[in-house]
Structure 1
């Protein structure tokens, strides 16, 4: 994982590997672009009936949902640009600009709207509690990363932005878990759930919303701890002389 946002205010070395030799860059960009291309268009029509989440009891739910989807899409695309080492090293001005767009034109409005629509989610209390925890964490991680970059604390900046990156991309894993739990629980509709559609929906949504962001965040923390251990071992390794 690489540093993001304003890290390039200080000179960055040109990466030793060409961009096409970074095996994760192209797949990540493709997945993010494909996800946005699938998720965004229905919310650009202005047709409330096309929304994949319906909450007719609250008239303001749909505008906030559209706002969230649009700005979250911006966050996903700019996040990919942030973790591209070649772009950061060769075009630091683009890196800095996309970083600011990521924070102020992506995560900030998307996180605030996510919290608001999470409070009135139609998918049950487990999904609601997940949104009310995840959205503030997303905002806090991103703000701390931006503040650290402004203070030129680039080690801290990297840590916070890796966490922010994990939550930004967690919507993709959320959808994957949704498919897994639907396949797993649907055959139990008449037994475990006694034919209750709402109970089945609440169970699937509650499980997928929590696992969708908790697992990526745990992986991010593991990654950070691995780097920390490697740095400590490097410091403890005796220097070779002569």
Structure 2
């Protein structure tokens, strides 16, 4: 089966579905006490619900969007799901993320990271959408990869948060621990994957150019 040629699709889909199944339900109850992030600011909970629900839509649809087999087999559905990803996922999730990121209870380090992440997420997705509309599909793919990385960065955020807790729980005063962990996790959660994706995007053209140069030399 051709779709099996991309062995990362299955594990990625499993991780994303498991993460959404764990993270989303508390925000569908209407009970602010079940939210995993608590704040005294009144609008925080409804905005957080919008952010979590729409980000869940984004993270699920983006897995389908980057699946090469699906893109090639169902181009019409790829475009339709792309609209859902942008307008029902990233756009409302990013805008609500800007506000709750600014009002985060975890201090200024996490605040700057959350706001910058939301801005870049919206920008990368908008540039991917514009490139697709202009039929600049090579640019669309690059911007979409960056958008995808920021979409799934919430998962790596949690991983770095767990690592930071294990390393710092006995070294940082208890009162400072939540802000410290949040500051580390929010920055490493998206900057490291984004830098790696940029390295990968730049490496592929260099490898292709090197192969073409070797082929030209062998022919001559």
Report TM bin, short chain.
over 0.9
Match of 1:10 in 2: none
2:13 corresponds to which of 29, 32, 36: 29
Are 1:151 and 2:134 an aligned pair? Answer: yes
Match of 1:120 in 2: 103
Distance 1:178 1:82, change over 3 A: same
Deviation for aligned residue 1:32: 0.4
Q: Secondary structure at the match of 1:123?
A: coil
Are 1:43 and 2:27 an aligned pair? Answer: yes
Q: Which segments of 5 or more consecutive residues in structure 2 lack a partner in the other structure?
A: none
2:72 corresponds to which of 74, 81, 89: 89
Deviation for aligned residue 1:234: 4.1
- Distance in 1 (CA, whole Å) between partners of 2:58 and 2:162 is 24
> TM-score under structure 1 normalisation?
0.87
Are 1:233 and 2:217 an aligned pair? Answer: no
- Pick the structure with more helix per residue: 2
1:209 corresponds to which of 180, 186, 194: 186
Match of 2:198 in 1: 221
Deviation for aligned residue 1:239: 7.6
> TM-score under structure 2 normalisation?
0.95
Q: Secondary structure at the match of 2:170?
A: helix
Higher relative contact order at CA 8 Å, sep ≥6: structure 1 or structure 2? 1
Q: Secondary structure at the match of 1:155?
A: helix
Deviation for aligned residue 1:106: 0.5
Q: Which segments of 5 or more consecutive residues in structure 1 lack a partner in the other structure?
A: 1-16
- Distance in 1 (CA, whole Å) between partners of 2:161 and 2:50 is 23
Q: Secondary structure at the match of 1:108?
A: helix
Deviation for aligned residue 1:240: 6.8
Q: Secondary structure at the match of 1:188?
A: coil
